[in-house]
Homo-oligomer: A and B are copies of this chain.
């Protein structure tokens, strides 16, 4: 039998590519760059990925699936709205924000191969599902219901991601913790809930 496709090699390629795409950008990183970083011949990249696009797609998809899987698993164990929101703000977002390469890739050029749109949609729907009972039960949220909860959630999510990307390689002194802090505060103030960190 021939050598089996090496999971390690595949992982190595994805790691190195993610780093390079994140740091230098998708367009600015050549397949050769990736190969060099892996100390692998160029051809090998193509035994693991059909082409450059598939490579980004795989990076994003596997990164996101991983995050989502852990989120849904954790979510299943929590009952109250507060606990669920705390999970998002206390665990999911910190994890996501720590992965600035993934964020940069999600946000930049390759939107077409990256499906940012659908990922955001997913989060929006998840959040809506969590918040709906609350919103329905309180008349003062009427306005949110009528107006665009969707727009609001997009702004918060995308703003959070962008803030991390921009902040990253710049002199700005805003840190992921600050952003998480803001999100937590907003949830508490706007929804009138008390999260217990």
Within 8 Å by CB of A160, from B117, B155, B170, lies B155
Report how many residues on chain A are interfacial, defined by Cβ distance under 8 Å. Answer: 48
Number of copies: 4
A56 at the interface (CB under 8 A from B): no
Asked whether, in the complex, the Cβ of B172 is within 8 Å of the Cβ of A121, the reply is yes
| Interchain CA distance A156-B151 in the complex, whole Å | 11
In this assembly, does A163 line the interface, its C-beta being within 8 Å of a C-beta of chain B?
A: yes
Is A109 part of the contact surface with B, judged by Cβ < 8 Å? Answer: yes
Q: How far is the CA of A25 from the CA of B172 in the complex (A)?
A: 26
Query: Do B111 and A109 touch across chains, with their CB atoms under 8 A apart?
Result: no
Q: Is the CB of B151 within 8 A of A155?
A: no
Q: Shortest beta-carbon distance, A181 to chain B, in Å?
A: 5
A16 at the interface (CB under 8 A from B): no
Task: Give 1 or 0 for each of A86-130: 1 = CB within 8 Å of chain B CB.
Answer: 000000000000000000000111010000110011000000000
Which stretch from A6-14, A58-66, A69-77, A182-190 is at the chain B interface? A182-190
The answer, yes or no, to whether A81 is at the interface (CB within 8 Å) is no
Q: Shortest CB–CB separation between residue A151 and chain B, in angstroms?
A: 4
Please report the C-alpha to C-alpha distance between residue A109 and residue B165 in the assembled complex, in whole angstroms.
11
A154 close to B (CB within 8 Å): yes
Q: Besides A2-B43, A158-B166, 10 other CB < 8 A contacts?
A: A25-B109, A108-B108, A117-B172, A147-B178, A148-B179, A151-B179, A154-B159, A154-B172, A155-B159, A162-B162
What 8 A-B pairs are tightest by C-beta distance, nearest first?
A159-B159, A155-B159, A27-B27, A158-B162, A148-B178, A151-B178, A154-B163, A117-B170
